[in-house]
Amino acid sequence: MHYDNVQALFCLILKNQIRTIDEGVETLIPDPDSQQKIFAVQYYCSTKYFCRQQQISEYYSWDGDASAKACSKCDNCVNCIKNNVQDLPDATDDIYELLEVTKSLTAQHPYVTPKDVVDVFTHSKTGDMESKGYLTSEAYKREYTRKVLVSKELAFQALHDLVVSGYVKQACTLKKQKERQMTCSTHIHGVRENAENFIGNKSWVYKAPRKQRRERR
Ligand SMILES: [Zn+2]
């Protein structure tokens, strides 16, 4: 399922959204609960190796419920087998660092996208980063060597996970221009208070094909 289809679906079924039309561009700002649901569906669609049935089971489970086993039949389970995917070591240390980078960057800069956070976390050095002033930010200057979230793809997945878990605050605006597909712009605007106190309560395990672990900054 494509993101745009998902967003269009949510716009049709969700209520309590701010809707404005200006020069033919329709802007929708869903209420915070609806936004969290959109992010959860985006995360579900973006995962490549996390069993679909396990994801749904976890979404509706209570704390302390036993986790479901991978079904070995869904597209993601098939991907795991096809790409020789393995569980990576627990990424809790990297998650703490990702949280600190997010906190620092959003405290210094007014409009931070998920890509900005990942670029700073992975120490990208591009013209875009320079023009935004990120290369001299405190977040960029942090000295830390990532142990598990070594690729951008894994960093994006972890950030998305933090958003869906409610530890990183993200907001979205949906725009629709006549006869064009709906677009969704997201920005990160902070970290939940005392989030670092809760990070250690769960394990942060991601999956990757064996070759992906060699990608380092
Ligand atoms: Zn599965």
State the alpha helices, DSSP H only, in 29-91. Answer: 32-46, 52-60, 75-82
Comparison of pLDDT for 124 and 22, the residue scoring more:
124
pTM above 0.75, yes or no: yes
Q: How far is the CA of 185 from the centre of ligand 1 (A)?
A: 30
Q: How far is the CA of 42 from the centre of ligand 1 (A)?
A: 17
Q: How far is the CA of 49 from the centre of ligand 1 (A)?
A: 8
Q: For residue 52, tell me if it sits in a domain.
A: no
- What pLDDT, in 10s, does the model give residues 179-209? 777 788 899 999 999 999 999 888 899 999 9
Looking at residue 127, its pLDDT comes to 92
14, burial (CB in 10 Å: exposed 0-12, middle 13-18, buried 19+): middle
Q: Total structural domains in the chain?
A: 1
Q: For residue 108, tell me if it sits in a domain.
A: yes
Q: For residue 180, tell me if it sits in a domain.
A: yes
Q: How far is the CA of 44 from the centre of ligand 1 (A)?
A: 12
User: What domain range includes position 191?
Assistant: 89-214
Q: For residue 61, tell me if it sits in a domain.
A: no
Mean residue pLDDT across the chain: 87
Answer whether 46's CB lies under 8 Å from 157's CB: yes
Instruction: Give the 3-state secondary structure of residue 26.
Output: strand
Q: How far is the CA of 172 from the centre of ligand 1 (A)?
A: 29
Q: For residue 67, tell me if it sits in a domain.
A: no
Q: For residue 193, tell me if it sits in a domain.
A: yes
Q: For residue 159, tell me if it sits in a domain.
A: yes
CATH classification of the domain holding 174: 1.10.10
Q: How far is the CA of 159 from the centre of ligand 1 (A)?
A: 22
Instruction: Encode 139-164: b = buried (16+ Cβ within 10 Å), e = exposed.
Output: bbeeeeebebbbbbbbbbbbbbbbbb
How distant, in Å, are the alpha carbons of 100, 107, 158, 199 from that of 192? 11, 13, 16, 11
Q: How far is the CA of 177 from the centre of ligand 1 (A)?
A: 37
- Residue whose structure tokens are 């993601």: 76
- What pLDDT, in 10s, does the model give residues 103-150? 999 999 989 999 999 999 999 999 999 999 999 999 999 999 999 999
Looking at residue 22, its pLDDT comes to 80
Comparison of pLDDT for 215 and 132, the residue scoring more:
132
Instruction: Give the 3-state secondary structure of residue 92.
Output: helix
Q: For residue 14, tell me if it sits in a domain.
A: no
